[in-house]
Each structure stands twice: as structure tokens, then as C-alpha cells.
């Protein structure tokens, strides 16, 4: 499923398995996870709020990032590509992947178009591989 900011797929699995599957699918397309933000843990620690399991993974494809940063250094404000993994119900995990074309739409730079298209194609394959497994 596609929304304005990205692609969302639902997995029928547990949270830890979903994180591993997403990480593996990203790796298969040349992305590494540079950052991992545990939203549930952070909200509990900072404001003592209970929240469902929810992580934000900062994924980076070094080749694409280098091309984008070389073309327009300000694009670093939009990097890395975020992927969220959240518990929606018992055994139901939502994985949302940012759409690089939507994100780069705020930076009007013609050289970024090919990078965004290539990144989107790779991330669409990540989403497709998650749906097929």
C-alpha cells in the first residue's frame, strides 16, 4: 500500500522477527541501518508513557547517498531513509518505508531525480520482498 510519504506493508509475525526481516530486506538492496530509535523505550523513559513497540530505522545506501550529497549537499537534511516498524495488534506488524521521491520533492534539484528514482525502486523491492515472505 502506498500513502503520501511512503509505502506500508503488514507482516504477520512478532516484532523482533519483523525487525530482522526488514533489516535483511534492506541489506539485500544495499541499505544498512545506521540508526535505530526505540520509540516505546524513549517515551517511557522521557515522559513515562506506555506505547506499543515502535522503532524507527535510519537506512542508508552509501552509493545513493554519496550521489545525492554530491549533487545537493542540503539533501543531508532528508537522510537517512526512514523505515518504521510498529506493532499494530497481536502478531500484526506495520512496516512503513519513506518514499524518496516524496521526500526529495522539497528539494528542487534536477540531478536528484535519478537518485530518488533509483532509491524508490530499491525500497519498493524491499516492500515487495517483505510482502512475499
How far are the Cα atoms of 15, 17, 31, 36 from residue 96, in angstroms, in the given order?
A: 14, 16, 15, 14
How far are the Cα atoms of 8, 9, 33 from residue 3, in angstroms, in the given order?
A: 7, 11, 23
86 bridge partner residues: 54, 94
- pLDDT for 111: 85
- pLDDT for 85: 98
- pLDDT for 3: 55
Q: How far apart are CA 112 and CA 72, in angstroms?
A: 8
* pLDDT in 10s for each residue of the chain, 133 residues: 545 889 999 999 999 999 999 999 999 999 999 999 999 999 999 999 999 999 999 999 999 999 999 999 999 998 999 999 999 999 999 999 999 988 877 777 888 889 999 999 999 999 999 988 7
- pLDDT for 107: 77
Question: How much is the pTM?
Answer: 0.92
Cβ neighbourhood burial of 32 (10 Å; 0-12, 13-18, 19+): middle
Which DSSP category does 3 fall into? -
68 bridge partner residues: none
Amino acid at each position: 500500500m502506498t500513502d503520501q510519504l511512503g509505502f506500508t506493508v503488514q507482516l504477520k509475525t512478532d516484532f523482533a522477527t519483523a525487525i530482522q526481516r526488514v533489516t535483511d530486506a534492506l541489506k539485500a538492496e544495499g541499505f544498512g541501518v545506521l540508526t535505530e530509535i526505540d520509540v516505546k523505550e524513549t517515551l517511557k523513559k522521557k515522559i513515562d508513557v506506555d506505547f506499543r513497540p515502535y522503532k524507527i530505522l535510519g537506512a542508508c545506501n552509501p552509493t545513493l547517498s554519496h550521489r545525492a550529497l554530491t549533487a545537493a549537499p542540503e539533501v543531508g537534511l532528508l537522510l537517512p531513509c526512514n523505515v518504521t516498524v510498529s506493532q499494530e495488534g497481536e502478531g500484526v506488524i506495520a512496516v512503513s518505508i519513506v518514499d524518496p521521491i516524496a521526500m526529495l520533492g522539497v528539494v528542487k534539484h534536477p540531478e536528484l531525480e535519478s537518485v530518488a528514482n533509483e532509491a524508490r525502486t530499491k525500497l519498493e523491492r524491499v516492500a515487495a520482498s517483505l510482502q512475499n515472505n
